Structure 1
Amino acid sequence: MASHLIIFLTLTNFLFILPSTLAQPAAPAPGPAGPINVTDILLKGGQYTAFLRLLNQTRVLDQLANQLNNSDQGMTLLAPTDNAFLNLPSGTLNGLKEEEQVKLVLYHVLPKYYSLDDLDTVSNPVPTQAGSNHGSLGLNFTARQNQVNVSSGVVESQINNALRQAFPFAVYSVDKLLLPASFSDAPAPESSSSTPAGKPANGPSAPADAGSPPAKNAGGKRMDMGVGLVGGVVLFFMAFL
């Protein structure tokens, strides 16, 4: 009898608990990831203010967002640090035209997603967004003792860490601004110690021997004095004849 009572009470509790359990809504399934915010990625990195400003000035930032949303290949961004900009020769960026600045920024964008392992074994040169043809304005990647380096042919930099490494977008930090070889043809500014040929270091000066009569005139005077002396001697002797 007692056992029947225990079974009855257990079944009664189960009947009360079951409806409340069924009434609870199921946990919502995770929704799709939101759009990738390049600005947030660089700001969280903490040392990419100059590059972010250049991305905004050239409007490449908007271009990146549009391409990321419409690309099935993904993209890779090489982000120079603020120190990379500070170490540039004075006037490097200001000396570039607007379209050259755009090309410089796009030179840091690879039109495909690459993990660090991919860059370790990738076939060089890797095309960038700055080149219209495959391999034009490309970059070369090499691996040395678990360290991946990137070279433009003019500048070589280490890839120090990944700010983001998840498809469809990877962002890697570089410690130098990658200048294309085509940007290295501009003549270097003239040193302040150098002077044009034939020009004194302290500015223009009077011609050599200025203030002295020319040699030709001095010779003419000496000749006149000699003729006068001879004439005087001749007249002296004629006086005694």
Structure 2
Amino acid sequence: MKCAIALLTIVMSVSVLHAGAHRPLVKLPLQSSDADTWPSASQAKRANLTEILTLDGPFRTFLTHLQQTNLVEVFQKQAYWTDQGITILVPVDRAFAAIKPSVLSGLSKHQLKNLMLYHSLAKRYELAEFEGLSRSNPVTTLAGGLYTVNVTYDGGTIHVRSRWTDAKIIGSVSVAAPMAVYELDRVLLPDSLFRAQPPVAATADEPTPAPSNEDASAPVSESADPVVPRQYGSAGVADAASSARGAGDRFASYAATAALGAMALVAL
């Protein structure tokens, strides 16, 4: 009898242990001190802003300034550690090249940081959402309340305007949530940093208008004489009429000379 009771006790103990081995584990809530060491699922597979700007376009200058001001991680934290995400407006390299070098080199590191933050919005916006955003002007950037832009949306064309710049979104670099990166054709220059309009040259997409009837793609030779295009304005018409009158006068003179010659022959 004692042996039977002992055997039954052993069997019950094994059964309890076996059942406990399949009990679902309950994950304890993270403590505040562990927040930085336990990445969320979205952080584990998040996009790398440095790689995006390196691989997806001519954005070397913008990326260099982000790295100089330690803003790469700031932008990524805004994207992946908040519920709003981020929109980054990235000027192309030629837009930075159009600015006189002394304009940016004269900025302090803090001012340069604000200039870079000025190119970002504290929410991720799809392109279609810019239409609604345009009705909320002025729009505050991540640089703060003194750094606002005005957005316009006209038939799908999106302009972002600062005090000294009228920039246009010309492409989508990366739109995967929660980060949207768009390409700008100009650098946004706020009056909070520049009291007067900085010197900016025309970018490559703003060619000087070529004369009419002249091939704009043809190279211009410095040694060759300039070609004066034919004018079709009022001056050109006047010149043509004058030439016609001159030809008519010459014809009348020839006719008179011929008539006089014929009369002389008849007289003889």
Q: 1: distance between equivalents of 2:198 and 2:165?
A: 16
Describe the shift of the 1:162–1:188 C-alpha distance in structure 2 as closer, same or farther (beyond 3 A). Answer: closer
Percentage of matched positions with identical amino acids: 36
The yes-or-no answer on 1:67 pairing with 2:59 is no
Q: Determine helix, strand or coil for the equivalent of 1:142.
A: strand
Change in 2 beyond 3 A, CA 1:145/1:68: closer
Q: Which runs of 4+ in 1 moved over 6 A?
A: none
Instruction: State the SS of the aligned residue for 1:158.
Output: strand
2:167 maps to amino acid: S
TM-score normalized by the length of structure 1: 0.61
Instruction: Show the 5 A alignment for 1:49-198.
Output: 49-122=60-133, 123-131=136-144, 133=145, 136-185=146-195
| Structure 2 residue runs without a partner (length 5+) | 1-40, 200-268
The letter for the 2-side match of 1:104 is L
Task: Please list the CA deviations of residues 201-221 of structure 1 after superposition, one character each: whole Å capped at 9, or x if unmatched.
Answer: xxxxxxxxxxxxxxxxxxxxx
SS at match of 1:163: strand
TM-superposed CA distance for 1:99, in Å, is 0.6
Task: Find the aligned partners of 2:105 and 2:52 in 1 and give their Cα distance.
Answer: 26
**Which residue identity is paired with 1:144?**
D
> Residues of 2 paired with 1:56 and 1:72: CA distance?
25
Secondary structure of 1:181's counterpart equals: coil
3-state SS of the aligned residue for 2:102?
Answer: coil
Flag the 1:187–1:110 CA change in 2: closer, same or farther, 3 A.
Answer: closer
SS at match of 2:151: strand
| Letter aligned with residue 130 of structure 1 | A
Q: Distance in 1 between matches of 2:104 and 2:76?
A: 24
How far apart are 1:182 and its partner, in Å?
1.8
- Measure the CA separation in 2 of the matches of 1:93 and 1:121: 33
- The CA distance in 2 between the partners of 1:74 and 1:80, in whole Å, is 20
What displacement does 1:164 show?
1.2
Report the count of equivalent residues. 156
- Alpha-carbon RMSD across the aligned residues, in angstroms, is 1.9
Q: 1:183: how far off?
A: 2.2
Q: What amino acid is the match of 1:160?
A: I
Looking at CA atoms only, which structure, 1 or 2, has the larger radius of gyration?
1
Unaligned runs of 5+ residues in structure 1 are: 1-30, 190-241
Cα separation, 2, equivalents of 1:188 and 1:154? 8
Return the TM-score normalized by structure 2.
0.55
- Do structure 1's residue 39 and structure 2's residue 50 form an aligned pair? yes
Q: Indicate conservation of the 8 Å contact 2:78/2:122, yes or no.
A: no
The one-letter code sitting in structure 2 at the alignment partner of 1:182 is: S
Return closer, same or farther for 1:41/1:187 CA change in 2, 3 Å cut-off.
Answer: closer
Partner Cα separation in structure 1 for residue 186 and residue 129 of structure 2: 21
Write the distance in 1 (CA, Å) between the matches of 2:128 and 2:57.
Answer: 25
Task: Return the alpha-carbon distance in structure 2 between the equivalents of residues 168 and 105 of structure 1.
Answer: 19
SS in 2 for 1:138: strand
